[in-house]
Amino acid sequence: MDKNNDQDKNNQENHENKQSESDVDLIPGGRIYQYFTKQRHRMLTPNLNRMAMLIIVLALLLTISKSIAIGTGQSIYCLECRSCLAVGDDCPADLQPSELVIAARTGDYKNFIKDGGLECITCGECVEYCIVDIDIASVIGTMQDRTMDAIKAGRIPNNLLVEALEEDRIGAEYVEEVEEYLLEQGVDVK
């Protein structure tokens, strides 16, 4: 008799389980969620999680490697907060260091020149204003070297260089080199 009762109980539980699997959608879109959580589809969840993690890791690696490969080391930590603009009149070249660090991060030589990056004398006055301790002067110094390499490799349009010379956005240290390069290209800048 007890055995029969147990059997009935089991049958009833099985029936309830089956019924709960085919429950109606109580919230709109709920079935989509249920699809990934039902017992028979449960294996999909860890696989989807792994795929999502892989995509996130790949995106992070791409972002980081891009900054390291093209930009200059520490610029990767720049938060674009622009706190370093507080240097104000203490910057002897009247520059906006934040824009130069941001340009350095992506190896944006054109904007670096336009924003006066080649005018910076790497005095370091702005460094103390960086909230994440980036050595701004060092970042800009490295970027200046790379920008000069880019100029000599013909990767910067001549008209942009001529314009920068006319507007005194090339520092004294680099003027001669830039003029020489332009003369070699047949551009008379004298």
Residues that bind ligand SF4 (CB under 6 A): 78-84, 87, 91-93, 95, 97-98, 101, 120-126, 129-132, 134, 136-137, 140
User: What is the closest distance, in whole angstroms, from the C-beta atom of residue 155 to ligand SF4 in the complex?
Assistant: 23
Residue 142: CB minimum distance to ligand SF4, A: 12
CB within 8 A of 41, min separation 6: which ones? 35
Smaller CB separation from ligand SF4, 128 or 180 = 128
CA distance 24 to 128: 62
- Provide the H-helix boundaries in 22-130: 30-37, 44-70, 97-105, 109-114
Q: Residue 70 Cβ, how far from ligand SF4 at the closest point, in Å?
A: 17
Q: Indicate the angle between helix axes 44-70 and 30-37, nearest 10 degrees.
A: 100
User: Which amino acid, residue 62?
Assistant: L
Q: Which CB atom, from 70 or from 93, has the smaller least distance to ligand SF4? A: 93
Locus of tokens 């070297």: 145
Considering beta carbons, is residue 25 or 133 the nearer one to ligand SF4?
133
Residue recorded with tokens 């008209």: 159
Q: What is the DSSP letter of 170?
A: S
Residue type, 18: K
Residue nearer to ligand SF4 on the CB measure, 70 or 137: 137
One-letter amino acid at 7 equals Q
Smallest separation, CB 183 to ligand SF4 (Å): 28
Q: Least distance to ligand SF4 from the beta carbon of 133, Å?
A: 8
Nearest residue (CB) to ligand SF4, 173 versus 177? 173
What is the distance between the alpha carbons of residues 72 and 107, in angstroms, rounded to a whole number? 8
